[in-house]
Amino acid sequence: MPIGPTPTTAPAPLAYRPGLNGIRAICVWLVVLAHWTLPGFPIGEMGRIPFFVLSGYLISGIVWKQQVHPGAPSGWLRRLGTFYQRRMLRILPPYYLALALGALLPLATLREFPGWFILPVSNLLFYRLGHWGEGVGHYWTMAVDEQFYLVWPLLLGLLGRRVGTLLAVVVASVLFRVWWSLHVTPTLTFVLLPACLDMFALGGVLRILEPQPWVRRLARGRWMLLAWVAWASLWALLEAVHAHHIWLLISTAAGGLASVVTLNWAVQLAGPAATGSARLLQHPVLQWVGVRSYGCYLYHLLLVVFYQRAVYHVFPTAATRNLWLSPLPTVLLLTPLLLLLAAASWAWLEAPLNRVKDRLRYS
């Protein structure tokens, strides 16, 4: 049965949203700083979870607007092929370049299991191994994203554009994490695609509900701040009672809700007429970094591995090595290098590929 838009749930046009680039910039640097400095607080999750929710928001909007799901009007299969081509052009060439650089370092896990990264199904590799590989651990999120791109249009064809069915996916994802952790293994369950569907589905829910007046009224910076304070308080409470295993089961759903509030604030208020705190997202620095956030994410672990090996090669004493590898020198030295790498990736690879991608039309 065709899943057409209704007057109350039709998504807004997929216009350029500068606020989302600001969100990308902030989130990618939360992840980068978490991996470079290893803080006790999970700031990396505060960056990772909104990225998954944002993927659900954007991809759901594309699937519905371009009608690339089963049951759509005639030609949906051809349009679905165009969707896959556009995604591959945007994601895979820079990713494979990063893999090639990692092989040159060399990174042992990448050299030993190249096929898992080429496909890419590195999330399944890390689940199988039970640990991360040096310099490649972050690729699990990209593998999940690409698996999501593959199945989400087909799944939306079954679910329709309904808040209730998407919320059922959220619940099912949480239940999957609980059941799998109790009956199969608790190790790295969260890297499996079914365990991440709650975040993607929450992005789809936001895509449906964003035109509603009551959702617009919730687009306030204070609600965003309150949502993340609640998330952090939940983490602190569970850590205090040594219930980290419970945190692993519920953190993405709770963080997904906070991310929905954050993205709603960004898309509703951070437009051309943005005022107050929403104007922060349009700062030129955040816009510049947001456009190049993919490169920042791709290369940040490769860069820190290279830096660590250089420090061990140059400095013979443990005290000197520890000084140079401490968080402050690491961040100060590597930040400009990472930004240069990301800028080069955008200028010489990603932007030209985007121009090719934009020539692939759905109709």
The model's pLDDT over 10-55, given as tens digits with 9 standing for 90+, comes to 444 455 678 899 999 999 999 999 999 999 999 999 999 999 999 9
Amino acid at 357: K
Q: Return the CA Rg of the chain.
A: 21
The model's pLDDT over 62-91, given as tens digits with 9 standing for 90+, comes to 999 999 999 999 899 999 999 999 999 999
The model's pLDDT over 90-131, given as tens digits with 9 standing for 90+, comes to 999 999 999 999 999 999 999 999 999 999 899 999 999 999
Cβ–Cβ under 8 Å, residues 263 and 50 = yes
The model's pLDDT over 284-331, given as tens digits with 9 standing for 90+, comes to 999 999 999 999 999 999 999 999 999 999 999 999 999 999 999 999
CA dihedral 135→140→145→148, nearest 10 degrees, is 160
pTM above 0.85, yes or no: yes
Amino acid at 277: S
**DSSP label of 136:** T
Cα–Cα–Cα angle for 123, 348, 52, rounded to 5 degrees: 30
The model's pLDDT over 212-252, given as tens digits with 9 standing for 90+, comes to 999 999 998 899 999 999 999 999 999 999 998 999 999 99
Distance CA 265, CA 111 (A): 43
Please tell me the predicted confidence (pLDDT) of residue 6: 38
Please tell me the predicted confidence (pLDDT) of residue 274: 60
**DSSP label of 29:** H
Amino acid at 1: M
Maximum alpha-carbon separation in the chain = 69
- Quickly tell me which residue has 């007046």 as its tokens: 213
CB count in 10 Å sphere of residue 339: 15
Please tell me the predicted confidence (pLDDT) of residue 11: 43
